[in-house]
Amino acid sequence: MSSLKTLVFFATPAHECSYLDDRDATTMFVDPRAKVDKRLYSQLTALGFRRSGSHYYRPHCEHCNACIPVRLNVQEFSPDRSQRRVQRRNNDLTFHYAPARFSETYYDLYARYIEQRHADGDMYPPSREQFASFLVEGATESYFLEMRKGNDLIGLAVVDALDDGLSAIYTVFEPREVSRSLGTMAVLWQIDEARRQNLPYLYLGYWISECRKMNYKTRFRPIEALLNGHWQRLPVPSGTNSSD
């Protein structure tokens, strides 16, 4: 089994940034031949790495530090007024953990989400192979969180288990149910699940202050950011009331 001391890393050539216009990006990857178990995955996550399928990566851009790893201290979290509304809006749903696997039901939801919500992104057009390589392959302890209205699957979140928390990998939802804010609801459920397991953190990936799609992450507080190699609590923005 690999360890931090034995890992080999590779960097991609500069390529167009997926989040910020007119910028190039470079990504650092763990050698895909490495054997990454839960312990090593947890260590990598604490160092700012993320999982995409069987790949473990983090931004490694020479002149840009816009992508900031963030995590939530779940024991200290209290939902604000908007988040409580989301919980009430979805109190008719049921939530279930399921093994991370391919199914046509899961894929149909994923395809509708990508086609209607991200047709301008690099994941379009969706494919079964893409679904499997992105959401099923790779993790040692990965689960699908099913969000159902009656028997209908309307949301699906990929959740990884770590030694010190959970990692929110990706969420898709039924485009017709956009008013439910299921992305937010999935995070709220994972916060509660981390508490049930007595885990301290929910890792939320990267926050980019200049990217509107990433702004939702800092609405969950207290949020911590990995800055200069240390996890630090981000201050509440001026004019924000954390209890609203």
Q: Does residue 36 belong to any structural domain of this protein?
A: yes
Over residues 111-138, the mean pLDDT reads: 93
Residue 217: which of 11, 19, 9, 1 has the closest Cα? 19
Of the chain, the end-to-end C-alpha distance in Å amounts to 47
Which among 9-23, 33-47, 212-226 has the top mean pLDDT?
Answer: 33-47
Lowest mean pLDDT among 42-51, 135-144, 168-177: 135-144
- Average pLDDT of the chain is 93
Q: Write out pLDDT tens, residues 70-97.
A: 999 999 999 999 999 999 999 999 999 9
Q: Is residue 139 predicted with pLDDT exceeding 80?
A: no
Q: Does residue 34 belong to any structural domain of this protein?
A: yes
Q: Does residue 75 belong to any structural domain of this protein?
A: no
Question: How confident is residue 48, by pLDDT bands cut at 50, 70 and 90?
Answer: very high
d(CA 219, CA 187): 11
Q: Which domain holds residue 20?
A: 9-65
Using DSSP, state whether 187 is helix, strand or coil. Answer: helix
Residues paired with residue 24 on neighbouring β-strands, in sequence order? 16
Give strand ranges (E) for 31-182.
Answer: 50-52, 55-59, 68-73, 94-99, 142-149, 152-162, 165-173
Q: Does residue 53 belong to any structural domain of this protein?
A: yes
CA 186, 187, 192, 195 torsion-angle sign: positive
CA-based R_g, the chain, Å: 18
Whole-number percent of the chain with pLDDT over 90:
83
Q: Is residue 242 predicted with pLDDT exceeding 60?
A: no
Q: Is residue 211 predicted with pLDDT exceeding 90?
A: no
Q: Does residue 50 belong to any structural domain of this protein?
A: yes
Q: Does residue 164 belong to any structural domain of this protein?
A: no
Q: Does residue 24 belong to any structural domain of this protein?
A: yes
Q: Does residue 226 belong to any structural domain of this protein?
A: no
Domain count, the chain: 1
Half-sphere exposure in the Cβ direction for 160 (13 Å, CA): 28
